[in-house]
Chains A and B, each alone.
Chain A
Amino acid sequence: MSKYSSYSFALIGATAALVASPTGAYAANYLSVREAQQVLFPSASDFQKLEISLSTDILEQIEEESGADFESTDIRVWKAIGKDGELGFVIFDDVWGKHEYITYALAISNTGEVLGVEITDYRETHGMEVTDPEWRKNFIGQSSANKDKVELRESIPNISGATMSCRHVTDGVRRNLTLFEKVLKNHKNA
């Protein structure tokens, strides 16, 4: 690209008045469960959901060993099946941070190697805030013409702001690798 190429930029309502009418918390949805599975295991022809229930003992062991706590005991794991058999696992997991709530999908090979991480959802609010009347006030006064702007799940395309940390995803990946070692590696579906 030539350094003389030009850009165009337009400000929309870049006034102080906009401060008083926040567009709500930021949320972005990237991939559905199915899409994330396909992106992580493009050659898979089938994904089988595993029924995983962990005893308190094993949960605590995994947390202690990985140094990362479970955010939910609902373990969402699929086995990826290809032409020549099992390819590995896809785990969907949620992590909470101070500023963010991230759902991501992690692909692990049969030998416990990380094959990829895809963020599937990102939002800067906990789900429970939706029912908090104070928080809901954020949306009051938004016109119905702007309805698409105020929906919680609305995907606001692009935010420029300082770096948000993905540290919690790293912690979650570590916890799930421990889950693989302790449980998934030897898992047989009942």
Chain B
Amino acid sequence: MRRAKPLLGTLVEVETDSGNAEQDSQAINAAFAEIIRLEKLLSRFNPESEIAQFNSLAVGKELKLSTEVAVLFKISKFLHKLTAGLFNPSVNIETAQAADFSKISLRGFSIKKLVPLEVDFGGIGKGYIVDLAVRKLKEFAPQSGLVNAGGDIKVYGEKVYPLHIRSASNAHKLFFSAELKNGALCTSAGYFRGFNKGGKNFQPIFDPHNGTAVDGKLSVSVIATSAWCADALTKITSLLKDRSKDYIKAMNARAFLQSGDFFREL
């Protein structure tokens, strides 16, 4: 059974193949409910979310986080360190410049900011939610399944899933086919959300060190064991291209670049 709902600002598909319609239905309902719960928990725009609470927190004050949010901060700190600050979900609201994400103290589930900053997990949040939705889906349907949140895909179990990636130059064409088993595939491209500046298209992915945006014609796909990792690595690879090779290797991932008719594995 495969169902889709408008969630996370996109189309979210959930699929299971237990062979039992009732079990599938229950599993898919549980996965959708988990996504709705996490969307509320992680949305910067929901004033009750822990992210909004953290953003309005005064410097030096402590906030207790739920496990899911604490883990998201932890993996983001890990990626921030791994990429020498290139992966950076923080911003200084006053200057509208990237802030120093390492100036966050996280002990267990207690968090504090050491300098004024706000966070936005747009570069990793969708993948992270996909991972947790898959975990929920698996509880109810352990055999195999899939969650696809607008192109952030994770599959589990013995089933091999056929996948298609859109052409970077024409979103209505499919560029290549692939098969994925027990892993995640995320793609970052400009076709549905680019912006125009000086007659050129760009994607809303910025280098925190110099503020430059990624070329709108580039499409990057990353395969990894978890969707948070694949999601974040598409952003890093979009910025660094070949220079992201070490990070891709460190995360046991694979990255593919597409621009026009040009396609290659990093």
Residues of A within 8 A of B (CB): 1, 3, 5-16, 18-19, 22-23, 25-26, 28, 30-31, 39, 42, 99, 102, 104, 116-119, 122, 124-125, 156-167, 169-170
Nearest CB of chain A from residue B167's CB, rounded to whole Å: 7
Contact in complex: B10, A166 (CB < 8 Å)? yes
Once the chains are docked, how many angstroms separate the CA of A16 from the CA of B96? Answer: 41
Sample of 10 more A-B contacts, CB < 8 Å, known A6-B183, A14-B263, A18-B175: A5-B225, A7-B183, A12-B177, A31-B3, A104-B6, A119-B5, A164-B11, A164-B150, A165-B10, A166-B10
Nearest CB of chain A from residue B165's CB, rounded to whole Å: 5
Which of A1, A122, A161 lies in contact with B135, CB distance below 8 A?
A: A1
**Residue of A160, A169, A170 with most partner-chain B CB within 10 A:** A160
Query: Which chain B residue has the least Cβ–Cβ distance from A159?
Result: B164
Contact in complex: A22, B3 (CB < 8 Å)? no
Known: A160-B165, A165-B10. A7 touches B180 (CB 8 A): yes
Contact in complex: A11, B176 (CB < 8 Å)? yes
- Residues of A within 8 Å of B225, CB to CB, are 1, 3, 5-7
Contact in complex: B178, A9 (CB < 8 Å)? yes
Contact in complex: A19, B172 (CB < 8 Å)? no
- Residues of B within 8 Å of A117, CB to CB, are 5-6
Residues of B within 8 A of A (CB): 2-7, 9-11, 13, 25, 135, 146, 148, 150-153, 156, 160-167, 171-193, 219, 221, 223-226, 254, 256, 261-263
Contact in complex: B11, A119 (CB < 8 Å)? yes
Query: Which chain B residue has the least Cβ–Cβ distance from A5?
Result: B225
Contact in complex: A9, B179 (CB < 8 Å)? yes
Query: Which chain A residue has the least Cβ–Cβ distance from B182?
Result: A7
> Per DSSP, are chain B's interface residues mostly helix, strand or loop, or mixed?
strand
- Residues of A within 8 Å of B171, CB to CB, are 99, 124, 161-162
Contact in complex: A118, B164 (CB < 8 Å)? no
- Residues of A within 8 Å of B3, CB to CB, are 30-31, 39, 118-119
Contact in complex: A8, B164 (CB < 8 Å)? no
Known: A22-B174, A119-B11, A161-B165. A170 touches B6 (CB 8 A): yes
Known: A104-B6, A158-B13. A163 touches B178 (CB 8 A): no
Which of A3, A12, A26, A118 lies in contact with B178, CB distance below 8 A?
A: A12
Once the chains are docked, how many angstroms separate the CA of A51 from the CA of B219? Answer: 48
Once the chains are docked, how many angstroms separate the CA of A57 from the CA of B219? Answer: 47
Nearest CB of chain A from residue B130's CB, rounded to whole Å: 12
- Residues of A within 8 Å of B13, CB to CB, are 28, 30, 158
Known: A117-B5, A118-B3, A159-B164. A165 touches B177 (CB 8 A): no
Which of A8, A19, A116 lies in contact with B175, CB distance below 8 A?
A: A19
